[in-house]
Every structure is written in structure tokens, then in C-alpha cells.
Structure 1
């Protein structure tokens, strides 16, 4: 198998970590984007080293275009051309719409949606020039079905799907695929920290009666990044235990 260089944004979160691990397991060289100054990064790096995983870390605020341009240039200079891009970085600022503050709206749109432009803009043309590339955007079940208290998040994740479909058409004849994954409720640390009775209420709404495993999302990323996935582009893959299908 050809080893590819994969950039994962928001790499030190629950999903990001699983995605990194699965891509490395598949034989790829992974570089991790993290938020600058995040105090958890040092521990995350040490934990990966203890697992025997070699991951180069590149801090950048994906909501800022200039940060992303500089990060991409540095990765290309120090590691090599980016073949696989996983746009995974995301935040939540949940609040019912009448009480949502403009800053909460802007923060989520900038990090979850504008980042797609910021990170992808300098990478996708070079993939097209080389005739091979995989762009995988992490959306959400709530971007497909909506969710009360998440107008900002759902709007950004729905925008992610529109971005995916449109860019896929632009790159379809260039050897570059663009797909989205819309996870349901996954057993990340953030979800497991929810009060047990509330978490059980969420599980009760899922036909499979369980949370998804982070490694199940990682495995799907690995497939979309593979050679056999070369005829799939513009797709949104729902992985939510039967919770919702469009």
C-alpha cells in the first residue's frame, strides 16, 4: 500500500484521536492539527507516544485563514504534500435561539464551517495537480435532521454537506474525492461525561440502543481515504445506529 500523508484537524478530540489512530493503523503518515495554546495537547502527545504512535503536531486556529495557510506551508515543507485531509475540527456553543448571543453563533460558524474553506483552499488545488486526493469532512446527524438548541451547530454542519457536494463536482475529474461523514451520538469523553440518566435517554432514542464507537468513525474515514473508495464522491455517509436517515 502506498503511504499517504494525512492531515487531521481538531486531532486531539475524541473523534480526532480515533481517526488518527485508524489512519496510522492503515499505514498512513498522520499530522495533527490542534488549537494553539490548548493545555491538553502535551498530555495527548505523550499518550500517543506511549502507544507507539508517531504523530507530528501543528498548532493553528482553523477559524483563521492566515493560520491555515501558514500551517499547510509548514507541513508541506517539513513532512510533504498532503494527500488526505480530514476536516474534523469543531466546537459547540449550544443555546436556544432567542437567547443565543452573536458571539456564540459566530464562533461555531467560524470554526465548524469557515474552517472548511480555510484549511481546504490551499490543499485541494495541489491534490488536483497531482491527480490524487481524499477530502473527508466530518458533519453530524444534527446537520442532517436539525436539533433544538443548536441552530448554529446544525447550520454549520448542514453547510459542511453543501460544501462537500459542490467541491466534489469541481474535483470529480481530477482524481480527488470529497465526502462527508455524519456521525450520530458517539462514546467520546464529552458524551460519556453527560449525566448518566440523560445519556441513557439519548441511547433510548437510538434504534441500536447503544452509542457509536470512535473507532467506527475512524474506520469509515480509512475507507473513504482508500483506493477502493475512488468512485465515491459527493456522498454523505450517515453512521448513527439508525437514529436518522435522509
Structure 2
């Protein structure tokens, strides 16, 4: 299927590893000119070199850093597709996550995306076409007790997408969210093996993944997702076949979220 991405320029924030890197790679495979963003220069340049993309290094949690990234990303031409993937989390409980940490993760995971939207959508409006895609998550709507500050930022991402879609009505720009379930990135694989002993999980990574998908984060498929499965949903929403989709949340979670909406 031709996604119609040849000649389009895409910025994927937080694409120096994991899900973001997979999104950048698949967009490049579909013919888009991709800007790879990250905070670690070596990792960012490595991904960009592998997929023949442009690397941009910067911190989106500050006004100056976001402005620099937006300007650098647009140096080769205006951005048509913005994928707000950058963000992070710490494994903290309610008692450990103090208000200052809530504010910090909100800056990194929510306001960073708002900054990029404000920088890049005006030019999309002028051209009458654009895509803004947030990477959210199932924890936005079915949170657990742990990582409350992180889960709240996911909910904010989902919410702002719908508001943005209403704001952009009639402009030719769509705004949507892709909501991953548990995805087996390198970081998640390390987490699983680290917590396996306390849960009584034994065996290799495949064994631990299977048990975790049954008892810890259960889903209907019986495994964790893979980064390229998230990338495929993003590429579809970025392409010409998704013109009639806006304000939507596309869940890619193996059926983890039990909802009819």
C-alpha cells in the first residue's frame, strides 16, 4: 500500500532509540524525509546514519531547546508530520513522587509536545496539510498505582490531541494519538529481567515475557508488542489513507484495555 509519504518531511521526537527509532525508520522506508531527534548525540546520529536521515540534538523541556530543535528540523524544508514521542518516566510510587517530580515529568512529556505543536503547525496551516501524532498509552485511561505522575502525562497527551483536532478543523491537518500497550523495547526487556526474581518469574527473556503478559500486564495476544507494530500505526495515520481520521486514539496493545470506546 502506497502511503503517499514521498516528498513529505517528518520530525519524530525522542527517536534515538526504542519506539521512536522504529517510527523514524519505517517513515523513511515509506519515502518520507525524516529528522531524528534525541538528547544523546551519539545515539541520535547513529539512528540518523542508519536510515539516511537528518539528526537534531536538543532538550524539548525548555523553550530555548524546543525552539532550536524546531528551527534545525525545518532547515531543510517545512515539517509536514510531527510525531510527539519524546518523554520519559521514573519508577516511582505515590509516596516517592514528590510534586517537583510531577512538574518535571509534565514538562518533559506534555509541555515539550505543546512547544513543538506551536512551532510547527503554523506552517502546516499555510500549506493546508499536516499530521500531528501523539504517542500516548493505555495507562492514560486504565492507570495502575505505580508511576502516577507518568500516567497522568499520558492522559494529558490523549486529551490535548482531541482539543488540537478541534482547533485544526478544516485546515487539512489531522491530530491523533497512538496508544501502545506493553512494548518490548530494550529498556522494557531490562526492566522485566530485573523484576523477574521478585515476581517469581524464571527462565530467559521469552519465558519472562510470556508470564508477564499473562499475569502482570495481561492481554489477549499473550505477549508484549514490538516497536515496529507501533510504527506501523503511526505510518498509517501519517499517510494519505488517514485523511478522514482525526481526534482518534488508535490502541496497539494486544487487547490490554477493556473498552468499547
Same fold (TM over 0.5): yes
Residues 94, 182 of structure 1: CA spacing in aligned structure 2 closer, same or farther, 3 A cutoff? same
Residue 217 of structure 1 deviates from its aligned partner by 0.6
2:205 corresponds to: none
Structure 2 counterparts to residues 123-162 of structure 1, below 5 A? 123-162=120-159
Normalising by the residue count of structure 2, what TM-score does the alignment of the two structures yield?
0.87
1:5 corresponds to: 9
SS at match of 2:168: helix
| Per-residue CA distance 1:110-139 (angstroms, 9 max, x = gap) | 111111211111111211111000000000
| Per-residue CA distance 1:80-113 (angstroms, 9 max, x = gap) | 1000000000101222212212332222111111
Structure 2 counterparts to residues 76-225 of structure 1, below 5 A? 76=74, 78-193=75-190, 194-195=192-193, 196=196, 197=201, 199-204=209-214, 205-225=218-238
| 1:62 pairs with 2:66 | no
| 8 Å Cα contact 2:158/2:249 also seen in 1 | yes
Structure 2: gaps spanning 5 or more residues:
202-207
Tell me the matched-pair count.
239
Cα distance in 1 between the residues matched to 2:47 and 2:121: 31
Normalising by the residue count of structure 1, what TM-score does the alignment of the two structures yield?
0.92
Q: CA RMSD in A?
A: 1.6
| 1:21 pairs with 2:25 | yes
Cα distance in 2 between the residues matched to 1:32 and 1:111: 18
Cα distance in 2 between the residues matched to 1:175 and 1:47: 30
Residue 79 of structure 1 deviates from its aligned partner by 1.1
SS at match of 1:103: helix
Cα distance in 2 between the residues matched to 1:6 and 1:179: 15
Residue 158 of structure 1 deviates from its aligned partner by 0.3
Residue 75 of structure 1 deviates from its aligned partner by 2.3
| Per-residue CA distance 1:185-206 (angstroms, 9 max, x = gap) | 0110011112152644431112
Structure 2 counterparts to residues 21-60 of structure 1, below 5 A? 21-35=25-39, 38=40, 41-43=41-43, 45-46=45-46, 49=49, 51=50, 53-60=51-58
Q: Which segments of structure 1 move beyond 6 Å, counting only runs of 4 or more?
A: none
1:240 corresponds to: 253
